Structure 1
Amino acid sequence: MGIKIESLELGLSKKIEIRKATIGVVGLGYVGLPLALQIVNKGFQVIGFDKDDEKISKLRSGDSYIADMSNAIIEKAVNEEKFEPTNDFSKLAYVDVIIICVPTPTTADGTPNISYIVDAANAVEQNMSSNTLIILESTTYPGTTEEIVQPILEKSNFVIGQDIFLAYSPERVDPGNLNFSVSNTPKVVGGISAACLEVSKHFYETVINTNVFAVTSPKVAEMEKLLENTFRQINIALVNELSQICHKMDVDVWEVIEAASTKPYGFMPFAPGPGVGGHCIPVDPKYLLWAGQQHGISATLIETADKINVSMPSFVVERLENYLNAQEKEIGDAEILVIGVTYKPDINDFRESPALHVIDKLKDKQCGLNVVDPFIETFTVGNYRFNTVSLTKELVQKADAVVILTNHTPIEYSLIDQYAALIFDTRNTYYLFKSENYYKL
């Protein structure tokens, strides 16, 4: 049996080393697709799996649905037969490494929804071959790899650590970040066994251009991912609450942050805003909150931070209403021009975006709404479908207020500065705005 373990492990590691391993990526969203193309770039053949027929069709045509991934990169990989997008999960039988990058949302009450992980693990178990490495990258609660994925894979009668290898390595994708990508962001990995850790660490060292940090178990790797984003959630909540205090005291919160940032140690700047968005910060801390509750721990700091961040859209609308009232304008009679819908600048992802909540509240106020976002064409708030419009001089002049919710780079801010009757900037977009009616969060 010892010879079998060695031959399997070394055989897979050797295939990875000489780029003869075929890689399967399950889930071709904001995490899976960039990872798949990075692995292609490292000389591997990749099969990408997704249930969404529209995504598969677009990828086969060389069309990208992610703003910071060009059509040319996808088209080249597909045409050279280095990347095969498919919804045929039986092809998992032909891959040597399977990386699971599926969504992990929460239910309405904040309970983790790991149904996508379960479905992916079942598909892997039903189709995988011996001598395969399976890595879960989806953000989840500590224990998922060992308590959920491992038992599913073991139904195949393959022995983990001998016949197949299982590990967890949290994704660290930051859409729109020009400095850090899949290729140069350090990875953390934890394996079910020493053999699992060794082969998974070797895989990542082969496909990325930076360090791979090994931890003692998948549970440690799962927990550290939740720490990363809960750290951000709590610090953003701190500056969001500070912005509310500073507003009441007539203090510029942005100047306060800038001054504090001069300290070379013990301080890290975070920016206030209309709330938090994306899949990570609004969701991941809820996994940690839930995990604590399962063990009798009430994570009050995490819960409070969530409440503060959730309250910010209401704070934004209240501030806007006050500024309009100062100009003797009722918000219900006002025409509002909203700049930006996505949760961060220069991407086309509006999952959990705080802008959606601000727009929803403005809609409830019965005011007129136009929305500008160069990265998306349509979006839905409640049952109402919005079409974005192009920024024009006439549109700015028509508006009683321009509200900047996402600071996209392509926006012509000088046009807003020149013609807007009132500007409410929740992102400190341009501190050089000259308008007398310019207000920051």
Structure 2
Amino acid sequence: MKKTPLIAVLLICIMLFSACASGGGTTPSATTDAPASQSAATDAPASEAGEAKVHTNADAFEYVNEAGTKSDINQYYNDLGIECSVDIRSAGGDVKIKDGAVAQMPTPDEKYTIGFSVYYTIDEVGSMYLEAMKAAAAEAGIELLINDADYDQNSQNQAIEQWILQGVDGVILTPCDFTGVKASLDALEKAGIPVISLDAPPQAGNVDAIVTYDCIEQGRLAGELLEKALVDSGSDMKGKVIYNTLPFVHPNAVTRIIGFKSVFEKYPDIELIELTGESPEDHYTAFEGAIQANPEMLGAWGLYSSATIGMNNAKLAGKMEDILLTSVDNDRPILAGISKDEILGSACYSAVDGSRIALSHMINLLNGAEIPGITYQENIVVTKDNVEEMFGHYYPGNTLQDYLNAN
């Protein structure tokens, strides 16, 4: 970490003394009167002109909770039955930010070294997080240290331990284990190294900020796609809808299911049936059995990419192309399936933008600007009407047609 010159410390103390002498939705909520930051790097120093630095992307922020409030995800998750105890140190409010808002990375005040640990890169989202982070770091002139944890919390912990010893300026991570990551977060806090969590937030330990997305909205959007297709087809809205999720508690899964179920609460004769699996092969097998047991099912939903890919492959193999299927996530096979009328549509978000937002926040934080406590990425519904355009957005420099030709 960079040391503050003695003169700067004295000036800050004088300013603080003077100030004291004159003093006389579906998204997590915030509380007022935020305590002082627990991270030395989070306290934004005044600029040379005597004014606090402004976040370089501030114009793109749509505030959910205003700046100066303390972000809180604990009650939100606890109310959903997910145990959560996380303190978010930044008090810059909660914001939504549109895809593509970080068109240019901020300029670092110094040559920062940032560690980035991604949960794994087997799926396209994790791989895109990593590649986008590398590109953004190169653009900004940041030295980036990388750990692909391969869904092993011990690997993530070991990398962070090494980065602490190296004295990195900050750490960005996508947690492997949402409670097991606490040991690393505690060590980073003790070392005074700021940390930003990307993707699904941790459920234990403290961070400076979180970059995530509204998963309840994602589930609702996917449900509305299926509902509209059923209504348009003249369905009497009676029967079974299958959805495939994970076999363990994942904060994204729990919240997406809540959003999806909310769409069908008004249809008492629709039965929602849950299947589980991890890999596309698991979901293929589970959905294949569901098709055989429920040949007249109304429709289906893949809660995340592996589920959708496995389910779509099963319905095609069983020559059940007419099964209405919706999704969350924007992996290329899903977008290709949308273009070929195999999948109705998907609630999507940009992993590229997620990485750029997280690194922009970290650079702004290290430069001395206040950053949002929680940032929600934009969810966009992708259907056949806009899939070609959105393919190019989510995979810059690539086209849907090129992908279809190669596959």
TM bucket, shorter chain: 0.3 to 0.5
State the structure with bigger RCO (CA 8 A, min sep 6), 1 or 2: 2
Q: Based on CA coordinates, which of the two structures has the bigger radius of gyration?
A: 1
TM-score, length basis structure 1: 0.34
